[in-house]
Chains A and B, each alone.
Chain A
Amino acid sequence: MRRALTDIAVRWLMRCVTYFIVLVIAYIVIDIVWNGAPALSWTFVTAMPKESGAAGGIFPAIVGTFCLILGAIVVALPLGTASAVYLSEYAKNGRFTRMIRLAIITLAGVPSIVFGLFGLGLFVLFFHFGASILAGSLTLACMVLPTIIVASEESLRAVPIYLREGSLALGAGKWQTIRKNVLPYAIPGMLTGSVLAIGRAAGETAPILLTVAAFYLPRLPRSVFDQCMALPYHLYVLATQYPDADKIRLMQYGTALVLIILVLGVNLVAVILRIHFRKKYKW
């Protein structure tokens, strides 16, 4: 009898702790939506900032973030998927493969600010790109590379072996088999993983802090060698670099909300993609 009571108590305790975590998450999201919603308007997302960001809109920051993400995808997606194909289809369990795996694990754990230092040292100073979209995108690309590789490899490995064997048995070459009989089924999963990685890149501040982000630049970037504003850095600036930070709460919450919508929106797209394709392919 006493044991049954303890069991019930423990069960409820664990349930409460778990729901407490969820409650905190909900509170954070609701707080930002609630306080940020009044700031949202068409002009807020399409106008230039005024008075060092204390008024006006956040258009250049949104554009800047999109440019950075696009740049990171263009570089990281081909490299990441190619690495994943190599690791899942070609790699033997040798020294080279072990080194690649160690490198992926290491890269995944590098703190974002250290990526910033690396981008500053290599792209900004050594390659003389200056603080630019190019330098920032390349830094972000290095950061998302391991996530893309791991997700893509997983979805390649999920393709059943008999799809490969069938094609090989009919006399197709290895690459032909991969291209025609493996990749088409793996691409949805690869896409989902990459989309998630991109969502993470969109919200990162530390790597772009030292490589691209402009404090206040009320115009759109003209080339990849231009600096640009970015949503996460803009929020940081609004929240901490103003003497009267309390007075521009609405701008801060608005920026935070747009950033959250962007990041969670990207995540939602990934989830929908996953559900859609899971229904389509079943083995």
Chain B
Amino acid sequence: MGGHWREAGVKWLLAVSSSVCIIVVLVIFAFLFKEAAPFVRDPGVLDLLGARWTPVSFIKQQFGIAPLVSGSVVVTLLATLLAVPFGLCGAVYIAEIARPLEREILKPLVEILAAIPSVVLGFFGLVVVAPIVKYVFNLPTGLTGLTGALLLALMAIPTIVSISEDAIRSVPRSYREASLALGASDIQTVWRVTVPSAKSGIVAAVMLGMGRVIGETMAVLMVTGNAAVVTLSPFDSMRTMTATIAAEMGEVTYGSRHYQALFWVGILLLLATFILNVAAQRVLRNHQRA
């Protein structure tokens, strides 16, 4: 009889442990909103929609997040644009063309990139990439949105490669065989049959890569120059939402308007990545079902 109680107890204990995840997610949302909430009453949420971010000012504090959002969007899109062709080519090559031994070597090498801490990549960007960007494009400074995008593309590549590769390899062999039997060459088969069949997995990989890029903090903080201006030119210095929180949170008075505004930026980031991730998972699930 004691065994029965123990069984029930263990099950209950394990269920409680796994609910910790749910609790943490709820508490994250709750605390971000709790800390950000007073902003709604005092300056009002509309203040967030402005085009100027001057949180420390003797004349007028302004908390318009437009420059931060534009910074994040430009850097993220540019990084994605750079990472997708490289990531996709790499994934297809590793999955379909590389010899088995070559694959065993290439895969872990690309995974090393995912393991390098972002602060180290940021440092590398600062010391090596920024001077190159400055020289090549003849700019006054190498600390630009483009430099940030280059580094972020590097960070997105391992995510895109490894998830796309899984998707490509999970395409049934019969598809390839049918294509080859009809006289298509192996390269034609790869690009016209295998890759299109793995399309949704690849889309999910790109979305997850974007999620990683938009939330990335240290590398962009170190190399984008951090000017809070609305700009669409990647050759300008810009500042992303993540970098703003990291750079300014250390200096604000807890509970001040500036503090609350930074939490709003955090909420926006959280929502953006949440939507990207959930959408990507949905795409992946549909892919597996098909």
Residues of A within 8 A of B (CB): 3-4, 6-7, 10-11, 13-15, 17-18, 20-22, 24-26, 28-29, 31-32, 78-79, 82-83, 85-87, 90-91, 96, 99-100, 102-118, 120-122, 125-126, 142, 145-146, 149, 173-176, 199-200, 202-206, 209-210, 232-233, 235-236, 239-240, 249, 252, 256, 259-260, 263-264, 267, 271
Contact = CB atoms under 8 A, between A and B. Distances in A.
Interface in B117-140: 117-124, 126-128
Given A90-B11, A100-B22, A104-B21, A28 B121 contact: yes
B56 interface: no
Given A107-B25, A113-B269, A173 B7 contact: yes
B217 A17 contact: no
A118 B249 CA distance: 12
Contact of B93 (A17, A85, A106, A149): A17
Given A113-B217, A113-B246, A118-B28, A205 B112 contact: no
Interface residues of B, number: 84
Contact of A22 (B32, B110, B122): B110
Contacts of B35: 117, 121
B40 interface: no
Given A22-B110, A203-B117, A107 B21 contact: yes
Contacts of A85: 14
A83 B215 contact: no
B18 A82 contact: yes
A18 B90 contact: yes
B236 interface: no
Q: Which of A7, A25, A173 has the most CB of B within 10 A?
A: A25
A250 B163 CA distance: 37
B154 interface: yes
Contacts, number: 250
B168 interface: no
Contacts of A235: 119-120, 123
B119 A260 contact: no
A206 B217 contact: yes
Given A82-B18, A210-B250, 20 more contacts: A7-B185, A21-B86, A87-B18, A96-B15, A111-B269, A114-B32, A114-B266, A121-B35, A122-B27, A200-B115, A203-B118, A204-B118, A206-B242, A235-B123, A239-B222, A249-B127, A256-B124, A259-B120, A264-B115, A267-B112
A164 B256 CA distance: 57
Contacts of B278: 102, 105-106
Nearest to A235: B119
Contact of B115 (A90, A252, A263): A263
A109 B216 CA distance: 11
A203 B119 contact: yes
Contacts of A28: 116, 121, 124
Interface of B: 3, 6-7, 10-11, 13-15, 17-22, 24-25, 27-28, 31-32, 34-35, 85-86, 89-90, 92-94, 97-98, 106, 108-110, 112-113, 115-124, 126-128, 154, 157, 161, 185-188, 191, 208, 211, 214-218, 221-222, 242, 245-246, 249-250, 254, 262-263, 266, 269-270, 273-274, 276-278, 281
The 9 A-B residue pairs with the shortest CB-CB distance, nearest first, are A111-B215, A203-B117, A82-B17, A109-B277, A83-B18, A86-B14, A17-B89, A121-B31, A206-B217
Contacts of A142: 24, 28
Contacts of B106: 18, 22
A110 B222 contact: no
Contacts of A249: 127
B187 A111 contact: no
B25 A209 contact: no
A21 B90 contact: yes
Contacts of B117: 202-205, 232, 259-260, 263
Contacts of B24: 103, 107, 142, 145
A90 B16 CA distance: 12
A126 B31 contact: yes
A109 B21 contact: no
B250 A109 contact: no
